């Protein structure tokens, strides 16, 4: 079999996942034509890059508008490719705003569509799932509860496991602490206040306040902050900013204070107890409160289908409340940490083992021979 495949990502995280996908596809189909919209990881895996993702992804409304001409040019090129039946199968990785239009165009010309990493329509836009179901032939999802939702709207859906399970081995606790200059017997609190400017601006003051309260109470001796190069962290004082090495920060930690998102799953995989706290613009929160259809915001609790980790949102996310929630988790031998770790073990089991990309390649093969 010599299939013609197109794999599309739209941002750096998609390029990371796409590199693994292309490696698995190349192993399954060594003679295949594999083109891609992607980045350096997809190129290194053996894809021919038709268009780089550079200049496509953006944060913020104004920035997103600036990328519209690039997206339109790419879409027209892809539509011509589909009309010429250049590909047998396209694999779309996340990036739903643009990829949904690509899927519609591919479907119009009879090209099979395999989507990897579904948009979180189950959380706040379930009505959009009907449109999604009309253009996706098969869906490979990474959260164990997603097949029930997407299968319910008529999409052939397979849980392939979470790609975090395929990541490179993180540093050990000893290695991370040595690299960061933290004593082996220290009690360490890690802060993950996000990577976007708005997130950091809203979360940093309350995270900083909670950390200082934890230090004053003797719950921890060191505080590490997973910082970004462009982030602003005023009045950090004795809190240590670690730029661009979140893996070390997590590996060195006894407990984590984190925003909702993938970081919570990374902490669960690392067996590090956590508290989740998040604040958004008040107007955005009022809107989201009307739209959200799930009982929790953290992926850990959603995967467990119960509250494993505390969630403190908006006005409830005060420095005092966060310190009170995190202090019992900083003692590895304490009851709070022990109980939470039982839940984290269940989350790890539900996320599945390594091999998500290989399972995706199996789905691709099934679609090509069908």
Same domain, 200 and 142: no
**Sheet containing strand 311-313, strands side by side:** 240-243, 222-227, 188-192, 255-258, 274-278, 311-313
* pLDDT digit string, tens, across residues 229-271: 989 999 999 999 999 999 999 999 999 999 988 999 999 999 9
| Residue 218 included in any domain | yes
Task: Reply yes or no on whether the pLDDT at 169 is more than 60.
Answer: yes
Q: What is the DSSP string of 44-103?
A: HTT-EEEEESTTT--SSHHHHHHTHHHHHHHHHHHHHHHHTT--SEEEEES-HHHHHHHH
| Residue 194 included in any domain | yes
Say what percent of the chain tops pLDDT 70: 92
- Residue 34's nearest CA partner among 2, 10, 56, 9 is 2
Give me the domain span that covers residue 283: 173-351
Who wins on pLDDT, 324 or 282? 324
CA atoms within 13 A on the CB side of 133: 16
Give the pLDDT of residue 128. 77
Q: Does residue 297 contact residue 367 with C-beta atoms inside 8 Å?
A: no
Same domain, 17 and 70: yes
For the chain, give the mean pLDDT.
Answer: 92
Give the pLDDT of residue 61. 45
Same domain, 100 and 45: yes
Give the pLDDT of residue 323. 98
Q: What is the DSSP letter of 46?
A: T
Task: Reply yes or no on whether the pLDDT at 186 is more than 70.
Answer: yes
Burial class (CB in 10 A: 0-12, 13-18, 19+), 291: exposed
Give the pLDDT of residue 255. 98
Q: Is 169 left (phi over 0), alpha (psi -120 to 50) or beta?
A: beta
Same domain, 114 and 151: yes
For 302-322, what is the mean pLDDT?
95
Min mean pLDDT across 29-38, 195-204, 331-340 is at 195-204
Same domain, 340 and 361: no
| Residue 86 included in any domain | yes
Give the pLDDT of residue 45. 97
Q: Does residue 180 contact residue 242 with C-beta atoms inside 8 Å?
A: yes
How far lies 361's CA from each of 17, 101, 116, 306, 370, in Å? 13, 23, 11, 32, 14
Same domain, 201 and 346: yes
Same domain, 250 and 329: yes
- Residues composing the chain: 370
| Residue 314 included in any domain | yes
| Residue 166 included in any domain | no
Same domain, 14 and 96: yes
Same domain, 13 and 82: yes
Confidence of residue 39 (pLDDT cuts 50, 70, 90): very high
Task: Reply yes or no on whether the pLDDT at 123 is more than 90.
Answer: no
Question: Which tokens in the block code for residue 312?
Answer: 């403190």
- Residue 116's nearest CA partner among 261, 8, 33, 266 is 8
Same domain, 121 and 34: yes
Give the pLDDT of residue 62. 43
| Residue 312 included in any domain | yes
Q: Does residue 239 contact residue 207 with C-beta atoms inside 8 Å?
A: no
* Strand-pair category, 188-192 with 311-313: unpaired
For 19-43, what is the mean pLDDT?
97
CATH number at residue 148: 3.40.50.2000
Domain total in the chain: 2
* Strand-pair category, 89-93 with 4-8: parallel
Question: Which tokens in the block code for residue 155?
Answer: 């999409």
Same domain, 276 and 318: yes
Give the pLDDT of residue 310. 97
C-alpha 19/C-alpha 41 separation (Å) is 5
| Residue 167 included in any domain | no
For 30-48, what is the mean pLDDT?
97
Same domain, 111 and 190: no
| Residue 168 included in any domain | no
Dihedral pair phi/psi, residue 113, rounded to 5°: -125, 120
C-alpha 269/C-alpha 263 separation (Å) is 10
* pLDDT digit string, tens, across residues 325-336: 999 999 999 999
- Residue 322's nearest CA partner among 234, 207, 216 is 207
* pLDDT digit string, tens, across residues 48-92: 999 999 878 654 444 556 778 899 999 999 999 999 999 999 999
């Amino acid at each position: 079999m010599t299939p013609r495949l197109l794999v599309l990502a739209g941002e750096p995280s998609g390029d990371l996942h796409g590199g693994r996908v292309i490696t698995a596809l190349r192993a399954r189909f060594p003679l295949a034509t594999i083109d891609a919209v992607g980045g350096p990881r997809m190129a290194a895996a053996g894809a021919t890059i038709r268009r780089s993702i550079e200049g496509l992804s953006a944060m913020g409304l104004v920035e997103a508008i600036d990328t519209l001409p690039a997206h339109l040019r790419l879409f027209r090129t892809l539509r011509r490719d589909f009309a010429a039946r250049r590909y047998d199968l396209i694999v779309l990785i996340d990036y739903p705003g643009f990829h949904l239009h690509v899927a519609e165009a591919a479907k119009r010309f009879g090209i099979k569509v395999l989507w990897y990493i579904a948009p979180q329509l189950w959380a706040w836009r379930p009505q959009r799932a009907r449109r999604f179901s009309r253009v996706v032939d098969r869906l490979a999802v990474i959260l164990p509860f997603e097949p029930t939702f997407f299968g319910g709207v008529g999409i052939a859906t397979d849980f392939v496991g979470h790609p975090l399970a395929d990541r490179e081995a993180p540093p050990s606790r000893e290695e991370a602490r040595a690299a960061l200059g933290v004593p082996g017997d220290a009690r360490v609190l890690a802060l993950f206040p996000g990577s976007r400017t708005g997130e950091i601006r809203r979360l940093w003051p309350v995270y900083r306040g909670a950390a200082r309260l934890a230090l004053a109470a003797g719950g921890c001796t060191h505080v590490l902050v997973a910082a970004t190069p462009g982030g602003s962290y005023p009045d950090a004082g004795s809190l240590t900013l670690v730029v661009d090495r979140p893996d070390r920060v997590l590996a060195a930690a006894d407990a984590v204070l984190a925003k909702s998102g993938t970081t919570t799953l990374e902490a669960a995989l690392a067996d590090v107890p956590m508290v989740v706290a998040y604040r958004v613009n008040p107007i955005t929160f009022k809107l989201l409160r009307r739209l959200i259809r799930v009982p929790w915001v953290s992926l850990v609790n959603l995967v467990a289908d119960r509250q494993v980790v505390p969630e403190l949102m908006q006005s409830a996310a005060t420095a005092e409340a966060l310190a009170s929630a995190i202090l019992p988790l900083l003692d590895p031998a304490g009851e709070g940490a022990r109980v939470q770790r039982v839940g984290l073990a269940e989350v790890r089991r539900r996320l599945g083992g390594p091999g998500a990309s290989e399972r995706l390649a199996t789905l691709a093969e099934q679609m090509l021979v069908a």
